Amino acid sequence: MKKLYKAANIILILFFVALILMRIFYKLGDIGWQDIDEAKHASEAYETFKSGNWIVHLYNWEVDYVSSKPPLYYWLTNIVFGIFGISVLNVKLPSAIAGTILCILLAVFVFRQLKNRFNSTGIALSGILLYLSVFITMDLLYDYHMIRTANFDSVYVLFILAGMLCMIRASKDNRFLIPFGAFLGLAFLSKGFNVSAIVFCAICCIPFFAKEKRVKYILYSILTAVLVVLPWAALRFRFDGTKYFYYMSFWQAGDKVEGPTWHFFEMMPRTLTFRLVFYGLIFYIAALALKHRSVKQLFGAVMSDLKEYRMLWTWFWAPIIFYSLMGSFNEWYVYSSFVVGAVLTGIYAAIGIDALSGLNLPVQVIATFSLCIILAVAAKAGIDRLGSYWLAGNGGGPNLPFWADVREIKEKYGDEYRGRNVYIEDIDHYVDLENVPIEEADTTQTLFFDLLAYGELEYDWRGMPGGVDAWEQDDEGILVINKDIFDRFYDRVAGHVIIEDGGYLYFIRDMY
């Protein structure tokens, strides 16, 4: 029976691993940009690579102070671009790889925790299975600012939770605070002063560290974090003094503090991930209640487990409390709590399974059925989301036609129009066309974030301001016109060669 139980666990684990890998990598390069932040970061990654500048990131070939994040993600994309070439897929690849490593790292952690506690491979495998089943349900973790995007958060969360694992080890051996400091520094290089939440977690965990030479190793940890950041910070300071750091402190981070909010606590009951976490904890309590008949014994067992996994609970709640007190309400700020919730589900549900192992068969059958509900709901959620990826690239974004056009031009003409200056005449995205006639709609003469990123990564196009006026002064330039406003420019472009008539019209300076 034990062999059958173990085999079933392994088969289900392989199923969820495959599902998670598909959620991460399936049609990763076809889905386009999820938001303007991702598009802007993609452009900055491209321009950082092309300029060969590893210290200062650019946007539209100028130093960018608006997105004042440190450059670690751009270093990673530089490496990927150098090995595999420039593409929309490859700009997302560091996030996808970081998400994969994160999933594996924590699965190993869950296995070791349970194997050491119960000396049972079967119980440990059950914990991994339940952890993976919750991990697959985190839609936000894949699709918004995270694993399937060219944003910094996937790499950042990897370093946060790698640091958490070091801190858990530091509860018995303070030397692990040194690698925690290294991961803290890398997290800073990923996302700047968002690491203040990690520092808050670390402060909350100080009482849990081993007492021997605690202060000494805390100082070593701080020094290690500084040494990781210092070389880049010194080179950046040499370039523009305190200007960049001012923007990072008071523009990027300072405007996020708005006052206490209950947003996260309102969000949790509506999120499938947290509902499964709650379900797993209810299963754990019910299992212990069946094993320990008295309330006193039940309370003692629960408190014992709470003490054993107090650091995990600290890392679950501390970011939520920190950002709630600050008033920052972006869900991606607490993605680490989502992942820790999956880890806690795997561990606590496995403890519940062990508690039921000595009870009668009907109870074990009911328990197995209740856990199968988690697995079934999680599998359905993951498969449903994969279905939405199947149509990736075929619609859903206002500027995906531009991306399709650029690929068509590249396929049709090869390198003939690669690296050209591109000028655009388009409808401003903020115009409400239901209330404003098309002939009165405002226009823009600069490339939007997403258009610029598609043009740069796909065909080395350089977005230029000025629209038709500037294009008429550039013999090698390409003019892109939204078809809905083509009539406004007909007299000025009539007779010029159209190289593509797709989602937009593409004109060159040559005449028919």
Which range among 83-87, 121-125, 431-435 shows the weakest confidence by mean pLDDT?
Answer: 431-435
CA distance 185 to 491: 58
**pLDDT above 80 (res 429):** no
Min mean pLDDT across 78-87, 257-266, 480-489 is at: 257-266
Choose the weakest-confidence range: 5-19, 254-268, 485-499: 254-268
Decide the pairing of beta strands 58-59 and 421-427. unpaired
Nearest to 488 by CA among 449, 429, 445: 445
Report residue 94's pLDDT band, with 50, 70 and 90 as the boundaries. very high
Nearest-angstrom CA–CA distance, 243 and 59: 17
What pLDDT does 392 receive? Answer: 55
Averaged pLDDT for residues 361-385: 81
Whether the model pTM is above 0.85: yes
| CA dist., res. 45 & res. 216, Å (int) | 39
Taking the C-alpha atoms of residue 1 and residue 339, their distance in angstroms, rounded to an integer, is 32
**Which residues lie across from 62 on neighbouring strands?**
59
Q: What confidence score (pLDDT) does residue 409 get?
A: 95
Residue 239 has pLDDT above 80, yes or no: yes
pLDDT above 60 (res 256): no
In this model, does residue 368 exceed pLDDT 80?
no
pLDDT band per the 50, 70, 90 thresholds, residue 381: confident
Quote the pLDDT of residue 393.
Answer: 47
Cα torsion at 483, 484, 489, 495 (round to 10°)? 30
With a cut of 90, say whether residue 104 has pLDDT above it. Answer: yes
Most confident of 157-161, 251-255, 335-339: 157-161
pLDDT computed for residue 49 by the predictor? 93
Query: Under a CB-based contact definition with an 8 Å cutoff, are residues 464 and 422 in contact?
Result: yes
* Cα–Cα distance, 43 to 38 (Å, whole number): 9
Which pLDDT value is given to residue 325?
83
pLDDT at 440 over 60: yes
Task: Provide DSSP, 324-377.
Answer: HHHT---GGGGHHHHHHHHHHHHHHHHHHHHHHTTS-HHHHHHHHHHHHHHHHH
pLDDT of residue 257: 55
pLDDT, average across residues 39-47: 92
Please state whether 85 falls in left (phi above 0), alpha (psi between -120 and 50) or beta: left
pLDDT of residue 439: 72
- Rg, C-alpha atoms of the chain: 26
Q: 296 or 388, which is more confident?
A: 296
Q: Is the dihedral of CA 317, 319, 325, 327 positive or negative?
A: negative
Residue 258: pLDDT band (50, 70, 90) is low
pLDDT score at 396 = 45
